[in-house]
Chains A and B, each alone.
Chain A
């Protein structure tokens, strides 16, 4: 005969039908934006770690009767000797012509990197983790010993890339905040609609001695239920999307492209999005109702 029920028939309101869908959509977008930010954050860290421990030495090609091949090899060997004699470098490895051609092929087109094209000599250098290499001094020594040799520590390129990635990361974080703000505005609108629709019942409850919190509880738990329902739906759709992107990403050969693989901790953060959305909906509904009821006589 007596069961848990609400004095206000909020579940029959039209807003109760569309609010979960709106929250689902917002959670979906927020999860994708958050996953992007987390993935980029990881990628930036990985790039920093991988590229700050590496140098690329490039020796400009010579042109001669034999295409300068013999002298080019001699210059390369000289550079190799100098580098291998430098403390703090754990690996000094020249790239063979095939590998260099393979690196150029994406830009010049297949088959266009032929024997007639002068190719630079490239040496891949790995710096010891604890080494403190003065790249400028090394570069000066190298260019003195081997004119035309340059050292690239990827600093400028990496700085630009990291700046771009940080910008995207910030944009994603801003998107999450804006989505949260939109959720608040939506719930305020829905709650005010509910207050207007049920004004007569709310006024009656007020007049028979209901505390503001008694009425607010009915709105806040209703908003919590709708928020959770919509949030879980949005999360499910977002997870499907992320997994699909992850699967597609595995097929793409791109060294620098951030791989969409989240850690257990990051998945927990993602899973908290619908809970946060529901909590925002609940708190927003409560504050909205309390502010409205405070104006009643």
Chain B
């Protein structure tokens, strides 16, 4: 790892929900800044749970997690929002707000960060165009197709130019052509310096791109050598 501070570092992390069985066992890995990883594994392997720990949606049952060099176990509650703003998340179920337009949904991360409204307007319009939803600016989520919702969710995840982007099955609802386009979009972001982790069970997609894999099987993570 050298002198470079890891963006994400897990040491012997375990996770169980309530009194249930442990779903993640002794997870240990580190992500360097600007890296691009696929998080692979079959459905139910624990990919979403691992991502949830990475975007601070859940606390680990045991082990150490540090993000951007900060141990999250000792971080004060009031400092967490600033850390979270450095992380963009594409949720598997999109989590778009039903009563807000595409524009307002994409603008949320900027607004919660307190960005001036002029800046919000300019950035959001540009981002929505970039993901190909220029003609859906005022549309509500229920009028969008699965692929359009996916792109809106991606636009919201990257609008804040996050240092770390986590995407949970971002190509699960789109055809191959759009899936490829989205992957190229993620690669563009990666070139700009964003560390990217994409969870997917689409092995064909993983094979097409030359990025290292984090592979989960039965809650155990293996980190194979990059292809």
Contact = CB atoms under 8 A, between A and B. Distances in A.
Interface of A: 1-2, 5, 7, 9, 12, 200-201, 203-211, 214, 294, 297
14 contacts: A1-B138, A2-B107, A2-B117, A2-B120, A7-B97, A201-B95, A201-B97, A203-B57, A204-B95, A205-B108, A208-B109, A208-B160, A209-B83, A211-B112
Contact of B112 (A1, A5, A205): A205
Given A2-B120, A12-B99, A201-B95, 12 more contacts: A2-B103, A2-B121, A5-B104, A7-B100, A200-B95, A204-B97, A207-B57, A207-B89, A208-B84, A208-B156, A209-B84, A209-B109
Q: 6 nearest interchain CB pairs?
A: A209-B85, A210-B112, A209-B84, A9-B99, A204-B95, A209-B81
B25 interface: no
B97 A208 contact: no
Nearest to B156: A208
Contacts of B138: 1
B59 interface: yes
Determine chain A's interface SS by DSSP, over half rule.
loop
A203 B113 CA distance: 16
B194 to A, nearest CB: 16
A208 B120 contact: no
B77 interface: yes
Contacts of A294: 77
A122 B56 CA distance: 89
Nearest to A198: B97
A12 B100 CA distance: 13
B84 A207 contact: yes
Interface in B73-106: 77-78, 81-85, 89, 91, 95, 97-100, 103-104
B81 to A, nearest CB: 5
Interface size class of B (residues with CB under 8 A): 20 to 34
B103 A208 contact: no
Contact of A210 (B81, B97, B160): B81
Nearest to A11: B99
Interface string B34-78: 000000000000000000000111110000000000000000011
A290 to B, nearest CB: 11
A297 B84 CA distance: 12
A297 B156 CA distance: 22
A208 B56 contact: no
A165 to B, nearest CB: 52
B58 A211 contact: no
A5 B109 CA distance: 15
B100 to A, nearest CB: 7
A207 B121 contact: no
Contacts of B81: 209-211
Contacts of A7: 97, 100, 108, 111
Contacts of B97: 7, 201, 204
B108 A207 contact: no
A2 B56 CA distance: 30
B103 to A, nearest CB: 7
Contacts of A210: 81, 112
A212 to B, nearest CB: 8
Nearest to A200: B95
Contacts of A206: 84
Nearest to B55: A207
Interface string B207-221: 000000000000000
Contacts of B95: 200-201, 204
B143 to A, nearest CB: 16
Contacts of A200: 95
A208 B81 CA distance: 8
A7 B104 CA distance: 9
A12 B82 CA distance: 31
A208 B108 contact: yes
Contacts of B112: 205, 208-211, 214
Contacts of A205: 108, 112
A5 B107 CA distance: 12
A9 B95 CA distance: 15
A12 B137 CA distance: 23
A294 B76 CA distance: 11
A5 B57 contact: no
Given A7-B108, A9-B99, A200-B95, A209 B121 contact: no
